[in-house]
Amino acid sequence: NLMGARLAGSHGDTQEPKTNPLVSISDEPETLYKRLSILVKGHDKAVLDSYEYFAVLAAKELGISVEKVDKPPKTIERFTLLKSVHIYKKHRVQYEMRTHYLCLELKYLTGSTAAVYLEYVQRNLPEGVAMEVKKTKIEKIPEHIQKPVWDTLPQVEETEVKS
Amino acid sequence: VSPGGCVPALSPRCPPAPGAVPPCPPDPAVSPLSPQTRAARVRGGKGDKLVTYEQAHPPHHIGHRKGWLSLHTGNLCGEAGAAQRALEDAFLRRFLHGTFPGLLADEVVLKRRGNLLVICALLGRALPPAKLYFLLGYAETLLGHFYKCPVRLELQTVPGRVPYKCL
């Protein structure tokens, strides 16, 4: 019987519309980013592949256009050490550390979108994975160089300079 | 056992006969490593030693058949702090080996997410749960105060060590 049922969250129109305390509205102009370049480094390629799927999905859900997803070649750092504590120079041991990379490039973001996306993606960064972010900002040309200098200067009469 | 197996020598002048069997490839069970390497591997015994999956695989299988026991960004290209993490890992493993005497079923996995240190350990069921909870709280508070970072200990009890192989 739905007639007597009262929905828990429903109120009359007398109350003010609820404002979400997490959403802030400000009058400052948004910073615009032309490109957001995220470089993710890790030892395990499978972890990076799954992180790529997650980051691309998150960007699509937020409506951010992904320019390209690049996979630069891995770097291997190798070193050779002596195998024994004392003497035995001919017997060595080799170790290597492999770093796999993943580069995500997102284009045309606003400052708040970039902040939200980066916070979400960084909070879910797996352990053992590092991230570097490069932002390319778009700014208006400053006023003093908007017009070329030779248009504004007064006409100077040419005088002969005797050396 | 000589590395590389035995390959029948073919003289370079006479080509192999049309019906001849090609030389057998080197025996894959005999690795090109020196037979005396003892690092991080359990050497062949009489068949009475039970080893877990972790202990059975030598270190060249890391990344292929094995995972990493300690996950942090110190060893990546262009990142710092490898030595500090290694020292912390060594201390943490000894500390946990002593806090849970005889209970650790397998190696402890250490994960670092930002400032947070997550320690994942598999324990046997010798102690009652009340004592395990006490040791968990004790370890978390002590390590948190020692390393000045949040520490989370995730314990799981198993009936016993799972043997993968008998060596």
Cβ distance B63 to A44 less than 8 Å, yes or no, reads yes
Q: What is the pLDDT of residues A108-117, one digit of tens each?
A: 988 888 999 9
| pLDDT of the residue at B71 | 93
> Which pair of tokens denotes residue A25?
């509205």
**Does A62 have pLDDT greater than 50?**
yes
A102 CB-contact burial (10 Å; exposed 0-12 / middle 13-18 / buried 19+): buried
CB B119 within 8 A of CB B96: yes
Q: Is the pLDDT of residue B35 over 90?
A: no
Residue-level pLDDT at B82 = 92
What average pLDDT does the segment A31-58 reach? 92
Q: What count of CB pairs under 8 Å joins A to B?
A: 42
User: Searching chain A, which residue's CA lies closest to the CA of residue B114?
Assistant: A127
Please give the domain boundaries of chain A with CATH numbers for all domains.
Answer: 30-132 (3.30.70.600)
CB contact under 8 A, A91 and B34: yes
Q: Which residue has the higher pLDDT, B142 or B43?
A: B142
Separation of alpha carbons B32 and B26, rounded Å: 10
Residue B109 has pLDDT above 90, yes or no: yes
Where do the domains of chain B lie, and which CATH numbers do they carry?
A: 67-159 (3.30.300.20)
As a whole number of angstroms, the distance between CA A126 and CA A114 comes to 20
Which secondary-structure segment (H or E) carries A93?
strand A92-110
What is the DSSP code string of chain B? --TT-------SSSPPPTTPPPPPPPPTTS-SS-TT--TT-PPP-SS--EE-HHHHS-GGGBTTTB--SEE-STTSTT---HHHHHHHHHHHHHHHHHHSTTTB-SPPEEEEETTEEEEEEEE-S-S-HHHHHHHHHHHHHHHHHHHTS-EEEEEEE-SS----EE-
Specify which residues A40 forms β-bridges with: A102, A131
Q: Please say if the pLDDT value at position A100 is more than 60.
A: yes
Comparing CA positions, the residue from A110, A104, A156, A100 lying closest to residue A134 is A104
**Percent of chain B residues topping a pLDDT of 90:** 53
Mean per-residue pLDDT of chain B: 83
Tokens at B14, concatenated: 């006479």
Looking at residue B161, what is its pLDDT? 87
Confidence of residue B20 (pLDDT cuts 50, 70, 90): low
Which pair of tokens denotes residue A35?
A: 């490109």
Q: What distance in Å separates the CA atoms of residue A43 and residue B59, rounded to the nearest whole number?
A: 15
Q: What is the DSSP string of A113-141?
A: HHHHHHHHHHHTPPTTEEEEEEEEEE-PP
Q: What pLDDT shows up at residue B19?
A: 54
Q: Is the pLDDT of residue B28 over 60?
A: no
3 state DSSP class of A52: helix
Judge contact between A65 and A108, C-beta under 8 A.
yes
Top-confidence residue, B109 or B14: B109
**ipTM score for this prediction:** 0.72
Give the pTM. 0.74
CB contact under 8 Å between B72 and A98, yes or no, is no
The length of chain A, given as a count of residues: 163
Average pLDDT of the residues in A119-143:
86
Report which DSSP code applies to A143: G
Query: Which residues of A are less than 8 Å from B120 in CB distance?
Result: none
In the three-class reduction of DSSP (H, G, I as helix; E, B as strand; rest coil), residue A89 is classed as coil
Q: Is the pLDDT of residue B32 over 60?
A: no
Q: Looking at beta carbons, which residues of chain B come within 8 Å of A97? A: 75-77
Residue predicted with more confidence, B135 or A4 = B135
Position A39 scores a pLDDT of 93
Contact A75 B77 (CB under 8 A): yes
As a whole number of angstroms, the distance between CA B11 and CA A97 comes to 42
How many other C-beta atoms lie within 10 A of the C-beta of residue B130?
8
- What's the CA gap between A127 and A104, in Å, rounded? 19
Q: Is B113 within 8 Å of A42 when comparing Cβ atoms? A: no
Q: Which of B118, B116, B121 is nearest to B150 (CA)?
A: B116
Q: What is the average per-residue pLDDT within B29-48?
A: 72
A105 pLDDT exceeds 70? yes
List the single residue in B68, B77, B78 with the smallest CB-CB distance to A128. B68
Q: Where residue B1 falls among pLDDT bands split at 50, 70, 90? A: very low
Q: Tell which residue, A27, A148, A153, A37, has the closest CA to residue A101.
A: A37
